[in-house]
Amino acid sequence: MTRYADAEKTQLRNVMSGVDWRHQTTKVLKHWMLIAFAFLATAPIALVVLNSVKTRRAIFRNPYHLPNAETFDLVGYETVFEKSQFHVYYFNSLFVTLTALALILLFGTMVAFALAEYSFPGNNLLRLFFLLGIIIPIRLGSVSLLRLIVSLDLIGTLWALILVYIAGGLPFAVFILTQFMSQVPSDLKDAARVDGASEYRVFWLILPIIRPATGTVSAISIIPMWNDLWFPLVLAPGEATRTVTLGAQQFMGQFSNDWNALLAALSLSSVPVLIIYFVSSKQLLQGLTAGALKN
């Protein structure tokens, strides 16, 4: 390779300048395409948020204008806060998502450690057992799940959602975490064991090493839990246990002709999530990328 390096470079330069105009055109076309899709992705939400702070007249007269002193109006938000309990919905969503995520990470890491670290009878069978859950959507078990939740007296509680989301999130978490776990070098673990550390202590010691993996698992687990409409509807539809998704959905069904309220409810249920997303997007997308490569 090294012998030809210089020749290669010259040849490369010739080739590049030969197709320079084509290169430039492709580049411009590429950016136009990316700009078009970035616009398509963001403009709908932007338009909704923009109009949520305008008077009804202004919403219909000139939807594309920024609000000014004359058209600025928060009446939609007033209706939403009067007629629904978005702060409760937010608390519910946060409580359910974060509790379930913490337990998915904890239990998932424990299983991954056991699967990657010890060879015991049934190890492969257990891997298969967890793999099953990636392929079959948990929603198909709803008939029986509803009975189970009723018999456990958990119906209409946030814990019903948390338990179901943990069960639904574990298969993928175990899958990803086991792969990371099996890459942890054994020297560290063996050194700890020589020093007389218990297996629990060894587990605790290697937790910091697999932190990047927990980022991936969080990125993949949070979105479907936060956005789920099915299980809140089936297991906890009451006003007090509504999540943001269900609460917004029900509110918008009720106020389907009050455009100010509709736009405000949509903004309230998407803007905070988008802010968190933009702040953490780098980690989230890196986590997704890392997760995709593990497949």
Query: Which parts of 27-56 interact with other proteins (CB under 8 A)?
Result: 30-31, 33-34, 37-38, 40-42, 44-45, 47-48
Least distance from other proteins to the Cβ atom of residue 236, Å: 14
Identify which of 142, 158, 154 has the alpha carbon closest to the alpha carbon of residue 239. 158
CB 239 within 8 A of CB 217: no
Task: Choose, by CB under 8 A, the member of 74, 75, 98, 138 that binds other proteins.
Answer: 138
CB 260 within 8 A of CB 75: yes
- Name the residue nearer to other proteins (CB basis): 5 or 69: 5
- Name the residue nearer to other proteins (CB basis): 69 or 135: 135
Task: Choose, by CB under 8 A, the member of 80, 101, 116, 261 that binds other proteins.
Answer: 116
- Name the residue nearer to other proteins (CB basis): 74 or 233: 233
- Name the residue nearer to other proteins (CB basis): 85 or 283: 283
Query: Which residue is listed with tokens 């209706």?
Result: 79
Per-residue string for binding with other proteins, 201-240, x by CB under 8 A?
--x-------------------x--xxxxx--x-------
Binding span for other proteins by CB under 8 A among 65-73, 78-86, 164-172, 205-213:
164-172
How do the residues of the chain divide into helix, strand and coil, expressed in percent and rounded to 5?
Answer: 80, 0, 15
Q: How many other CB atoms are found less than 10 A from the CB of residue 94?
A: 13
Least distance from other proteins to the Cβ atom of residue 115, Å: 8
End-to-end CA distance of the chain: 33
CB 217 within 8 A of CB 172: yes
Per-residue string for binding with other proteins, 52-91, x by CB under 8 A?
-------xx--x----------------------------
Least distance from other proteins to the Cβ atom of residue 104, Å: 9
Torsion angle in degrees (nearest 10) through CA of 231, 234, 236, 238: 130
For residue 284, give both structure tokens: 């989230």
Which of positions 243-282 make contact with other proteins (CB under 8 A)? 244-246, 248-249, 252, 259, 262-263, 266, 269-270, 273-274, 277-278, 281-282
- Name the residue nearer to other proteins (CB basis): 68 or 261: 261
CB 79 within 8 A of CB 52: no
* Number of residues engaging other proteins in binding (CB under 8 A): 103
Q: Is 128 in the site for other proteins (CB under 8 A)?
A: no
How many Cα atoms within 13 Å fall on the side-chain side of residue 30?
6
Least distance from other proteins to the Cβ atom of residue 223, Å: 6
CB 221 within 8 A of CB 104: yes
Least distance from other proteins to the Cβ atom of residue 289, Å: 4
- What's the rounded Cα separation, in Å, for the pair 254 and 252? 5
- What's the rounded Cα separation, in Å, for the pair 75 and 113? 54
CB 155 within 8 A of CB 149: yes
Binding span for other proteins by CB under 8 A among 12-20, 72-80, 82-90, 204-212:
12-20
Query: Which residue is listed with tokens 């057992």?
Result: 129
